[in-house]
Amino acid sequence: MDFPGAPTPIVVVEPLGVHSSYGPEAPCGSGFIATGQSGSTAGTWGAANTAHFYPIIVQRQVTVYQMAVEVTTQSGNCDIGIYDENFVRLVSMGSTAVAAAGVQVFNIADTTIGPGIYYFAFVASSTTPAFRRSAVSAPVLRTLGAFAQASALPLPSTATPAAISSAGPYLISASLYSATM
């Protein structure tokens, strides 16, 4: 499947102001989940090899097949993935070169999640690359359940939550589909 062009309304929510879309009227709908909010700007990565984890709440079973970030400055490597509520990695792309400016799509292994709490995770190898992000302070991110982990490239099999110290959230989106209503 390709990254969806025009998604329809949804049943996925997220504490960090997720923008989500889902096709509930079709038994095999497609859509997306995205962390962050409108009014985003470019921001360099806060700390080299420090992963960020943003919580999402999935209200029904979906299969995620792609994830994406918007690159504004290319440099180094990155990894992207999904963790369950026990901080166990369900899927990740592995260390991958940061693409040229524009949307970088990661064709992850199809991963079924939900309903439940999950974390979208992202990490960059240095502070040089820049990605699209919202302007939310680190203290606010902490109250929303976001966390970080140093020395996390590639993303670890089990995350060890630590206080997030840089602003964000970086905008991460995921393409999904569901065979259930």
Partnered with residue 131 across adjacent β-strands are 43, 71
Number of domains in the chain: 1
The two counts, helices (H) then strands (E), for the chain are 1, 16
Q: How far is CA 30 from CA 66, 74, 133, 155, in A?
A: 12, 30, 24, 27
Tell me if 53 sits within 8 A of 147, measured CB to CB: yes
Q: Output the pLDDT for position 34.
A: 59
Q: Does 35 reside within a domain?
A: yes
- For residue 163, give the nearest of 180, 181, 179, 140 by alpha carbon: 140
Reported confidence tier of residue 5, pLDDT bands at 50, 70, 90: very low
3 within domain boundaries = no
Backbone angle region of 85, left / alpha / beta, with phi > 0 → left and psi within -120 to 50 → alpha: alpha
**Cα dihedral 143→36→59→152 (10° resolution):** -70
Task: Supply the range of the domain harboring residue 60.
Answer: 12-177
**Tokens of residue 162, six digits:** 């630590």
Three-class DSSP category at 139: helix
- Residue 83: the pLDDT is 97
Model confidence over 152-161: pLDDT tens digits? 999 999 999 9
Q: CATH number, domain at 144? A: 2.60.120
Say yes or no to pLDDT of 66 above 50: yes
Q: Is 5 contained in some domain?
A: no
Residue 132 clears pLDDT 80, i.e. is over it = yes
In a domain, 6, yes or no: no
Closest CA to 33 of 74, 73, 76, 4: 4
153: three-class secondary structure by DSSP: coil
Relative to beta strand 12-13, strand 168-170 is unpaired
